Structure 1
Amino acid sequence: MNSWTTTSGGAVAFWHELPRNLLAGAVTALAAAPFAVAVAAGLPAWLLALTTVPPALALTGAASMAAAVARGGAARVAQLRDVDAVLATVLAAGATLAGAGLVSGGPAALFGAVCGAGLLLAGPSALAYGAVRGRRGLAAVRGGAILVAYRPGWAFTLLALACLGGFAAVASAGVLAVVVVPLVLTIAARQTAALLDEIDAVQARS
């Protein structure tokens, strides 16, 4: 199975559960509203950091729904409440460090860029791994990092999709975010499930 097959399969699965996927995207967008307001108002950095937690929590819930959809199951609203507080905190901390470093400039900007790149590259895989395998917190982060190292090409595919989706969301003043977030998470879950099946098969033969 290649990246194109899993990507297209994830998109088809997303379409089959479109209404609930859009709900997941809307919940995530609403959770990100305080962060957008804080940025626009120029609030202190510590307050900005706090406002990154709600969207991170919403992402973990949306990832739970995406995992069910990617495996051909039915999306349920209750899955949005299946959040991972530890993983969300890690994601929020990564986003905060990336933003603070990039804004500071100088050597800190390089650190911020590294944090941002790591978050964009491993974040979707960590969310998907945690949801597909039922792992929580740092175990999800570790699993996501292993999958990135195992098949980096697929991770870069997710990164490209996330970046393109991010540009589309910004260009639409956030409207398309309700589509982009669950779509990328569903594709990530589909890819992750395929990679885990492949790894399990290899381990079974060894």
Structure 2
Amino acid sequence: MVEVNVTYWYGKKSAFSVDSFDVFVLPAPLALLRAVFMHWLTYVVVFMLIPGFYFGRRLYMIWMEKKRRRRRYIFPIDFKKLPKTGPDSILVGKIAETDVKAYVDTKALMMHSLSAGATGAGKTVSAMIVAEELLKRGVPIIVFDPTAQWTGFMKACRDKRMFDIYPNFGLKPEDAKAFKTNIVLVTEQTPKWRWTYRSTENLGK
């Protein structure tokens, strides 16, 4: 308790006042809370940012649910069991609907392999990518092409639609290249072929 006596003189006039008040210091936690609740930014956060975060999260969850329903493939996938980058693996693209790089173990190609999917799913393109990567490593490739879809190997890609998706796989239009190709046109109904080592000794062809 503090008592204060004030005398004010102005000419022959004087004023006298007595007052009392309590002097105390707020504990640090209470002082901090008081400062927080007295600041205008607190109300901006409470009335704008928090509701914005809530509704933003709700919209994100709705978007994720719609994305999940649009998915064409079954998830989750155990990525640890997939082939990894290495001297015996080739990069063939990305796992569908993810940014995870997809590799093929070249040693596994010693056995039978199957590229399966619906029409337009990319079976031929995926097989071509595997063939291209093997050709780059000097592995000769033999393709039986009854639909004449593989003749494009003779010239570098010039399809703008393909170039548009090149950046998704770290490629540039300058990376497109042609491959040495020998086309054997089958004209006999029941041809008889005799393959020798010399027939495929040209590496990367």
* Alignment TM-score, normalising by the size of structure 2: 0.23
Higher strand share: 2
Q: Point out which structure has higher relative CO (alpha carbons under 8 A, 6+ apart).
A: 1
Larger radius of gyration: 2
TM-score by length of 1: 0.23
